[in-house]
């Protein structure tokens, strides 16, 4: 329970925060009035959060929702996830992106590729109008998918993802496998369902919005094939066994999660993607 602030004090705190004053300036009057550090911090955080939420509503933004939040900035470099130690290679706040090293073993990558190869079909994108799947130039890859628990390997990887991201297994969609040949790419897009598209309704009815993506690299392309975040000039190299996580707490470009699979310039690129929903996905 957060200790209540005088409206006047809350206004002052929000004003200072908007002017870019650091946290100790916002806390000072409360500490001087005898508040504990803990109560003062909670009250300041709550004031700023309330203001941001009301501002977002006024600006017509969709409300923010909880998302998987596996690590803090400058936290542990190695994380135990179910059955495996995973390293943290990079950690960015906006967009919220984390690059994990050694998420899959080389053998697991090879096995997923071998299981997928005989099942590949030309990839589709969501038709904005109907919410159905369609073939499109934006996505020149071939793919397939495995339902949750489809085989022992997928079940193990799903348990690892759930442990690492602290997000229930049943909030995950089926595992999507993609193979990009030379020249193939996935043009810039967001993974959330755009609320403005009529077809999104059908998707959102099954487990709510997507709130995070985990792209796992199943091989290392000879050249090209990075996952790029063009709005912020950041790219993640596709390295076998590594994975890139990103989350989006509202279905809005302000999350800066526009991303792409850059063209494969030589060789091929294989990935497994797990999309996570707000709720149980069946
Ligand atoms: O190929 C990549 O690096 C990105 C894949 C992607 O954006 C997706 O699967 O949604
Ligand atoms: Fe994507």
> Looking at residues 110-119, what average pLDDT do you find?
97
Which atom of ligand 1 is nearest to 236's Cα? 3
Q: What is the pLDDT of residue 192?
A: 98
Indicate if the pLDDT at residue 201 is higher than 90: yes
With vertex at residue 225, the alpha carbon angle to CA 218 and CA 213, rounded to the nearest 5 degrees, is 60
The 10s digit of each residue's pLDDT in 219-274 is: 999 999 999 999 999 999 999 999 999 999 999 999 999 999 999 999 999 999 99
Which atom of ligand 1 is nearest to 141's Cα? 1
Architecture of domain 78-277: Sandwich (2.60)
Kindly state the tokens that stand for 246. 């990103």
Long-range Cβ contact pairs of 118-127 (< 8 A, separation 24 or more): 119/144, 120/144, 120/177, 120/179, 123/178, 125/189, 126/193, 126/197, 126/199, 126/203, 127/199
Nearest to 5 by CA among 44, 53, 58, 55: 44
Q: In this structure, which ligand is nearest to the CA of 228?
A: 1
The 10s digit of each residue's pLDDT in 138-147 is: 677 899 999 9
Nearest to 271 by CA among 199, 206, 182, 175: 175
Indicate if the pLDDT at residue 210 is higher than 80: yes
Q: Return the domain boundaries, the chain.
A: 7-58, 78-277
Which mutation among 139, 178, 224, 235 tests ligand 1's pocket best, with the greatest number of atoms within 8 A of CB? Answer: 178
The 10s digit of each residue's pLDDT in 161-178 is: 999 999 999 999 999 999
**Ligand 1 centroid distance, CA of 36 (Å):** 46
Mapped onto helix, strand or coil, the DSSP state of residue 128 is coil
pTM: 0.82
Indicate if the pLDDT at residue 98 is higher than 70: yes
User: pLDDT averaged over the chain?
Assistant: 93
């Amino acid at each position: 329970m957060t200790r209540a602030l005088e409206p006047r004090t809350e206004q002052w705190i929000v004003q200072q925060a908007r002017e870019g004053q650091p946290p100790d300036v916002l806390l000072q009057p409360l500490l001087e009035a005898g508040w504990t550090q803990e109560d003062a911090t909670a009250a300041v955080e709550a004031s700023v959060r309330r203001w941001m939420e009301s501002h977002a509503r006024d600006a017509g933004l969709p409300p923010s929702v909880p998302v998987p939040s596996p690590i803090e900035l400058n936290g542990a470099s190695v994380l135990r996830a179910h059955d495996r130690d995973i390293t943290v290679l990079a950690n960015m706040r906006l967009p919220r992106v984390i690059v994990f090293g050694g998420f899959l073993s080389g053998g697991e990558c090879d096995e997923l590729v071998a299981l997928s190869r005989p099942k590949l079909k030309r990839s589709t994108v969501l038709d904005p109008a109907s919410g159905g799947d369609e073939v499109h130039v934006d996505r020149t890859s071939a793919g397939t998918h495995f339902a949750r628990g489809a085989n022992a390997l997928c079940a193990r990887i799903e348990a690892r993802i759930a442990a690492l991201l602290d997000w229930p297994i049943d909030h995950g969609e089926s595992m999507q496998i993609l193979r990009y040949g030379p020249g193939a790419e996935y043009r810039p897009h967001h993974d959330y369902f755009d609320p403005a598209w009529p077809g999104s309704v059908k998707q959102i009815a099954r487990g709510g919005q997507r709130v995070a993506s985990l792209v796992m690299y199943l091989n290392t392309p000879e050249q090209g094939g990075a996952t790029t975040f063009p709005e912020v000039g950041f790219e993640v190299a596709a390295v076998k066994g590594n994975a890139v996580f990103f989350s989006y707490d509202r279905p809005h470009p302000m999350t800066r999660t526009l991303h792409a699979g850059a063209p494969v310039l030589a060789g091929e690129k294989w990935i497994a993607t797990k999309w996570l929903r707000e709720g149980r996905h069946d």
